[in-house]
Amino acid sequence: MSDQNQMIETSRNSERPESHFLKEFDLLVENAAGGTAWIEHRHQAVKAFSSLGFPTKKTESYKYTPITKRVKSTLSNAVESEMRTSNRAFGDVSGIHLDTSNGVLSTGPLATSLPKGLTITTLQEEAKRENGVLHEHLSGAIVLDRDPFSALAAALTEDGILIHVATGAHIEQPIVIHHDRIAAAGFVQSRFLIVADAGSTLRIIEHFGHLDAGSAFENRVTEIIVGEGANLDHVLVYERSEEATFVNALFVEQGEGSIFKTNNITIGGGVVRNNLNFLPNAENCETHLNGLYIARGASHVDNHTLVDHAKPNCYSNELFKGIVADTATGVFNGKVLVRQDAQKTNAYQSSKSILLDRRARIFAKPELVIYADDVKCSHGATTGELDDEALFYLRSRGLRPDAARLLLLEAFARDVIDLVEVEDMREYLYDRLHQLLTNE
Amino acid sequence: MSENSTDLLHEVAESDYKYGFVTDIESDKIPPGLSEEVVRIISAKKNEPEWLLEWRLKAYRHFISLLDKEASPDWAHLDLPEIDFQAISYYAAPKQAPEYESIDEVDPQLIDTFNRLGIPIQEQERLVGIAVDVVMDSVSVTTTFNAELEKNGIIFCSFSDAVKNHPDLVRKYLGSVVPYTDNYYAALNSAVFSDGSFCYIPKGVRCPVELSTYFRINESGTGQFERTLIVADADSYVSYLEGCTAPQRDENQLHAAVVEIIAMENAEVKYSTIQNWYPGSAEGVGGIFNFVTKRGICEGARSKISWTQLETGSAITWKYPSCILKGDYSVGEFYSVAFTKGRQQADTGTKMIHIGKNTSSTIISKGISAGFSQNSYRGLVKINRGAENARNFSQCDSMLLGDRCGAHTFPYLEISNPTAKVEHEATTSKIGEDQMFYCKQRGISEQDAIKLIVTGFCKDILSQLPMEFAVEARNLLSIELEGSVG
């Protein structure tokens, strides 16, 4: 290598990973289409990203998750333009099916054969409309300066999915989104906006398939706006391969008397970070937040949740369960914030985890930050092995030790799967759970 | 809750500090400022050996490097004002500081101070049977009961005396649990610590009396940098009490103490604290900054360290009495009540580091916030890879008295061994209307009912305190609650 090349090499190595994305942003925005408000929003996002920067060792919220290492390694690998297609697990679930390619609708905007009141389109398309849903709700839920990854996705995403349900529309069939086409490597930034207007109901199912899914770093931000009295149910199943990285930000804002449920099931991936943010921003909201993760091999699964109770008389319930095997790491950080005016808040949180192997690790930080006095808030966190007495009981009934263990582990995880309301999905998840726990 | 009880809570939150007075004793004080020269002066004034001066200087340089890096800890849930370390005087010794043979020789004004605090020294000597190593500002003024302790081979003396008379022990253990590099305030303390207590319990000795030290800050404008070192040799037992009240003043005072405990095989150390420093006025003016590093190591198998604390004072408390459970089958315990009112801020909790096999730890923490105060529990339970069959149970309950205060919980659980069993639970609530109603319909007045419920809320902790302390603690808590009403 010549001296000059060496110099270029060193300067590239010492370059901060942020600058790569800032340059990319400048290039993208130069040629960007879409309304000015959309571009303006992306400028704000990139500003937020640039001032936050990627997490360092000292960043409290990424204390246990060395994600920046993953950013750097993804950057240093050659970008492949090749696309991979993963399995569609929920193809048979009856519903409205959508396919994505790098987080963008493969089909483009859907106009025909949708139930009344339902709009499915792309953000690009919607940005062209002057008084569209996008302009009304853009950055309605996202908090740009909270996390660098969500700011980054907001800045760099060129296009995304928009699902809108009009006032009072009850969409009977679930919308099933198959995120089944993905770049083989490199970064995939994507964005998703769901707006459920007053009194509407909607169920959304998302699946990130595992077969042949490549090693892409998916960085995604989803905003969900639940209108007054609306009822929205969201289930996400993530099972990419062990080389994949997933940073998944969810921002939910709820209107008065609305109900929002989410179930986040992570049973794959190399490094997975869920940033789940909930803002019940009016009285009498109900928020259900459930999650299950199974971390195996050398994988690392980190669930960060924030329930920000800003208004009185709301209810939130959070249940997270994890099984950590081999040399994997599980992280749970659940924060419940009750602001001064949020009197009569009932907030509950429970995090349970089981370690299966000697080199597996769990880090849990359940936080309560409470500024209102007339509230009922509690959290519980447990970590341990399977209960000896329960094992003994099953063995005394004639079960072999491994069968007894399996039974108990499945029962442990099924608590969360049982909260999924679509039967076909539950069946699939039971099977996958069994496979994962028996290494089949 | 009715308007009446809201008023009462306001009065509780605004009640005055009962122990505010300054004793007029002339002090030998060096001018404010922190420099290598100051560290040398402190060391010279105390006739310290070369190695200790070296250690202080290393700590000083480390602190300065942290200061340059602006590495003051900012992770706590506290609103910390900037501290000007050059505006503090680092040494103050009472001017008349002769070695007292008996308590009669002590300055009568000092005796008066203690009497007003409700600590009758002479009576204690005769009736209660507690040896008291009284720390007045920075130099130990009197030590009692030495003769009795000596009979058992127990060493209990001021830190300076220990350096003089037992240099080997001090040198061996000083900084072994809390090294000077441990944290910002530990580095500062290591550089400029003035005095403190030293205690050594020899092998197989069960200390016949409860050892107790009363700390008081008395000189306006002097920070107090205490250093306590307790070594319990194999098969020994000691119960150590520390309590404090401080005079009222407007100036902020920095208190950065370090406590180190070493428990060898089968030894047990019980460390109890009542902390009632001046909390500042209702508007948040003045008050003590209490930044304390307390840590014990269960060095030997089957050893046990137990921390019990009642925290009612200080403008800002930053304190995490911790246990390193190194010996197999060792036990760590942390029982805490933290009561904050007015503009007080407390960020307190514990760390339980499980290293040995079959170790267990218990954490019970009760936080009560009133007025505009902020009260946080912050704790770490760490189970290392080799810590087979470790067991932890944590319970953190918070109670809010009023709608302008905050109660927060920040537990960290880090588990690297599958055989560990770790449980954490936390609740936050206010005094139930049903509880109040029940008490009132039985003819119990509103304020008595609040006292009753709060005392009941803290019962688990108060019952862990040694008897004399438990009575004092209960009184203190009701005085705090009562405020000017009672």
Instruction: Give the A:B interface size as CB pairs under 8 Å.
Output: 117
* Strongest mean pLDDT among A265-279, B237-251, B277-291: A265-279
CB contact under 8 A, A362 and B413: yes
Residue B285 CB neighbour total at 10 angstroms? 12
Of A351, A326, A323, A349, the C-alpha closest to A337 is A349
E strand segments, A12-154: 83-85, 96-101, 104-105, 118-122
Residue A335 has pLDDT above 50, yes or no: yes
pLDDT value, residue B7:
61
Measured distance CA(B344)–CA(B312) in Å, rounded: 9
Q: Is B321 on the interface with A (CB under 8 A)?
A: no
Question: A367 to chain B: which residues are within 8 Å by CB?
Answer: 408-411
Residue B1 has pLDDT above 50, yes or no: no
pLDDT value, residue B96:
41
Are the beta carbons of A304 and A277 closer than 8 angstroms?
Answer: no
Residue A334 has pLDDT above 50, yes or no: yes
Question: B266: phi > 0 → left, psi -120 to 50 → alpha, else beta; which?
Answer: left
Question: Chain A closest CA to B389's CA: distance in Å?
Answer: 10
First to last CA, chain B: 20
Residue B306, amino acid = S
Measured distance CA(A231)–CA(A279) in Å, rounded: 15
Q: Which of A371, A372, A384 sits opposite B420 (nearest CB)?
A: A384
> Can you give the pTM of this predicted structure?
0.85
Do the strands A187-196 and A315-324 form a parallel or antiparallel pair, or are they unpaired? Answer: unpaired
Q: Check residues B429 and A325 and name the one with the higher pLDDT.
A: A325
Q: Can you tell me which residue has the tokens 């999650």?
A: A291
CB contact under 8 A, B77 and A358: no
Tokens representing residue B90 in the block:
């680092």
Question: Chain A closest CA to B30's CA: distance in Å?
Answer: 38
Q: Check residues A206 and B161 and name the one with the higher pLDDT.
A: A206
* Chain A residues interacting with chain B (CB cutoff of 8 angstroms): 60, 340, 343, 355-385
pLDDT value, residue B281:
76
Residue B201 has pLDDT above 90, yes or no: yes
pLDDT value, residue A418:
95
pLDDT value, residue B109:
57
Q: Can you tell me which residue has the tokens 């192997």?
A: A357
CB contact under 8 A, B416 and A357: no
Tell me what percent of the residues of chain A surpass a pLDDT of 70. Answer: 94
pLDDT value, residue B482:
63
Nearest chain A residue to B405 by CA: give it.
A371
Q: Which of B411, B414, B429 sits opposite A376 (nearest CB)?
A: B429
Nearest chain B residue to A380 by CA: give it.
B425
Q: Check residues A34 and A276 and name the one with the higher pLDDT.
A: A276
pLDDT per position as a tens digit, B349-362:
999 999 999 999 99
Lowest mean pLDDT among A217-231, A287-301, A321-335, A374-388: A374-388
CB contact under 8 A, B426 and A378: yes
pLDDT value, residue B485:
30
Tell me the mean pLDDT in the region B172-177: 93
Average pLDDT for chain B: 80
Q: Is B167 on the interface with A (CB under 8 A)?
A: no
ipTM of the complex: 0.85
Largest CA distance in chain A: 74
CB contact under 8 A, B424 and A358: no
Q: Is B345 on the interface with A (CB under 8 A)?
A: no
Lowest mean pLDDT among A77-81, B73-77, B276-280: A77-81
Q: Check residues A33 and A313 and name the one with the higher pLDDT.
A: A313
pLDDT per position as a tens digit, B420-434:
999 999 998 888 888
Q: What angle do the packed helices B467-482 and B3-14 form, to 10 degrees?
A: 120
Are the beta carbons of A413 and A435 closer than 8 angstroms?
Answer: no
Measured distance CA(B195)–CA(B173) in Å, rounded: 16
> What DSSP assignment string belongs to A62-97?
GTT--HHHHHHHHHHSPPP--EEE---TTTTSSSEE
CB contact under 8 A, A368 and B426: yes
Q: Check residues A213 and B387 and name the one with the higher pLDDT.
A: B387
pLDDT value, residue A78:
67
Residue B50 CB neighbour total at 10 angstroms? 8
Average pLDDT for chain A: 89
Tell me the mean pLDDT in the region A302-307: 96
Judged by DSSP in three states, A58 sits in coil
Tell me the mean pLDDT in the region B439-461: 89
> What DSSP assignment string belongs to A155-178?
HH----EEEEE-TT-B--SPEEEE
Measured distance CA(B242)–CA(B119) in Å, rounded: 13
Measured distance CA(A56)–CA(A66) in Å, rounded: 8
Are the beta carbons of A52 and A21 closer than 8 angstroms?
Answer: no
pLDDT value, residue A2:
44
Domain map of chain A by residue range? 35-282, 388-440
Question: Chain A closest CA to B375's CA: distance in Å?
Answer: 10
Residue A337 has pLDDT above 80, yes or no: yes
Tell me the mean pLDDT in the region A229-234: 97
Residue B221 has pLDDT above 70, yes or no: no
CB contact under 8 A, B401 and A374: no
| Element spanning B272, H or E | strand B268-276
A27 confidence band (pLDDT: 50, 70, 90): confident
| Element spanning B366, H or E | strand B360-370
CB contact under 8 A, B418 and A357: yes
Q: Which of B425, B428, B429 sits opposite A380 (nearest CB)?
A: B425
Tell me the mean pLDDT in the region A3-24: 66
Tell me what percent of the residues of chain B surpass a pLDDT of 70. Answer: 77
> What DSSP assignment string belongs to A334-401?
EEEEE-TT-TT-EEEEEEEEEE-STT-EEEEEEEEEE--SS-EEEEEEEEE---HHHHHHHHHTT--H
Are the beta carbons of B409 and A367 closer than 8 angstroms?
Answer: yes
Question: Chain B closest CA to A265's CA: distance in Å?
Answer: 22
Question: Residue A18 CA to chain centroid, in angstroms?
Answer: 22
Those residues whose C-beta lies under 8 Å from the C-beta of residue A310, and which sit 6 or more positions away, are A279, A280, A281, A339, A341, A342
Tell me the mean pLDDT in the region A375-380: 90
Question: A375 to chain B: which residues are within 8 Å by CB?
Answer: 400, 428-430
Lowest mean pLDDT among A371-380, B139-148, B149-158, B298-307: B139-148
Tell me what percent of the residues of chain A surpass a pLDDT of 90. Answer: 68
Q: Check residues B246 and A317 and name the one with the higher pLDDT.
A: A317
Those residues whose C-beta lies under 8 Å from the C-beta of residue A258, and which sit 6 or more positions away, are A226, A227, A228, A229, A230, A231, A232, A280, A282, A285, A286
Measured distance CA(B260)–CA(B298) in Å, rounded: 11
Q: Is B75 on the interface with A (CB under 8 A)?
A: yes
pLDDT per position as a tens digit, B372-423:
899 999 999 999 999 999 999 999 999 998 888 899 999 999 999 999 999 9
Tokens representing residue B257 in the block:
């103490």
A286 confidence band (pLDDT: 50, 70, 90): very high
Q: Is B82 on the interface with A (CB under 8 A)?
A: no
CB contact under 8 A, B404 and A364: no
Question: Chain B closest CA to A62's CA: distance in Å?
Answer: 13
Q: Is B102 on the interface with A (CB under 8 A)?
A: no
Of B358, B420, B391, B414, the C-alpha closest to A357 is B420
Do the strands B139-143 and B195-201 form a parallel or antiparallel pair, or are they unpaired? Answer: unpaired
pLDDT value, residue B486:
25
Residue A12 has pLDDT above 50, yes or no: no
Nearest chain B residue to A343 by CA: give it.
B403
Question: Chain A closest CA to B379's CA: distance in Å?
Answer: 10
Residue A11 has pLDDT above 70, yes or no: no
A427 confidence band (pLDDT: 50, 70, 90): very high
Residue B275 has pLDDT above 90, yes or no: no
Residue B247 has pLDDT above 60, yes or no: no
pLDDT per position as a tens digit, A96-136:
999 999 889 887 677 668 899 999 998 888 888 777 788 78
